[in-house]
Structure 1
Amino acid sequence: MKIKKTIIILLVCCLCGTVSIAQNRQGGGFAFGVKGGMNLSQLTMGNFLTTRYDANGNPFLKYNGQEVRDNIQESLDSRTGFAGGVYMRFGRHLYVQPEVLLSTKGGTFDIIQNDGDVPVRQQVDVRFSSIDVPILIGLKGGPFRINAGPMASFRVGDNQKLRDAFQQYTSGGLNDALSQAVYGYQVGAGLDIFGLSIDVRREGTFTDLASFKVNNQPIGGASTTVKQKLSSWQVTLGIKLI
């Protein structure tokens, strides 16, 4: 926790310094606008073989008394969501651009249930809403821009299917499994024409969207914690108001 706070403080100091330099060198260029677009996101988590639990926290048993061990697998399927909010830009050629966006994202993973003679595949569709706060540092030449920076994402809408699916595979509860805040990055390029801004960005997470302990080993690994991360492509159109 102390390391995370130190990193955040250093980032804020660096960004404040960059804003000051940009304003001094470029005459205090400033812009404010609104933007909206779409996210195309995907979950990553690996493949796990783990015990299923009932509502009382006891291992779920087959008819022959053996514990049920299901296979949890990541999926390559993507989900489309919405992104919209406001942005500010400080500076002209070298600039800092903080944003506040309401985003909907998601992905899928598969659970192969082995309680019967024939395994049954169940796909879990994950969708959630968050407030995303990226702080980007960029360079602009003519109408073209490149930018990158850190992002904090605060979950404001749960996906009950995700919670229900996880509940079956941990006997320790889910109080800390679903992260309230996720930290990541955005990197991309943009184009400014006649007060309009078009941006294409790649977004990823440093911290886990969700994690929980399992009792059995994952396939091909030695960890006993399932960790979900999120990666997205984001395309937005912005309108400069000031």
Structure 2
Amino acid sequence: MRPTAAILVAPGTNRDRDVVLALDLAGADSVVVSITDLERNANVIDAAQMIVIAGGFSFADALGSGHVFALELEMLLGDRLQQAVSKGRPIIGICNGFQTLVRMGLLSNGAGPMALDHNERGLFDCRWVTLRPSSEKCVWTQGIHENIECPIAHGEGRFTADTEVVARLQSNDRVALRYVNGNPNGSTDNIAGICDESGLVLGLMPHPENHVVPRQHPKFLRGSHQGLCLDLFRNGVTHASA
């Protein structure tokens, strides 16, 4: 039986349909859940076997990327996301979703302060990047041993944390993805994504949902495409189906 994913969106979210495609190819059905839907019935989240906070520019990045979205989710859902984790349900926050998870505190788990700040160059950056999956604890990346490729599209994606925090993340196998062949935003230790202590919650700045079929790669017609990201979503779906 195919699991159902709740894709949480807000005004300004723009990658939810891409996630729907990725999850469909990975074997899951999706329900797009807006802030208005949650205002009417927050219980809708409890019926999902997995949860996605999609990327975009929620609430026009007012007060900082993901800030208002995080406040809305905290008000409307309370501890429902944490309850989902306690029930073994995987959660992924992509780009703006990562920013939202960080602001909600769902990724720190005592590791210490962390943030997603303005890119080092101070500019919005949209380009393809190469990522190395680096965590076996994270249910989304475990078993993926080849580099993956996908685009970034953000102005506030620089992961920042002090040396002690990064050391704790590393020692607990919580650095899920690193940039290789170049760091596009100046992230500390080339970190592109991290997971929580349970390994169920993944936050990452790049957009793996935009490389789940070969033709999405900019070099597809040249015959040199590689690094498909579909296995990341398959991992999440497999765990949600267990």
Report the TM-score when normalising by structure 2: 0.20
Structure (1 or 2) with the larger CA radius of gyration? 1
Of Structure 1 and Structure 2, the greater strand share is in 1
Of Structure 1 and Structure 2, the greater helix share is in 2
Report the TM-score when normalising by structure 1: 0.20
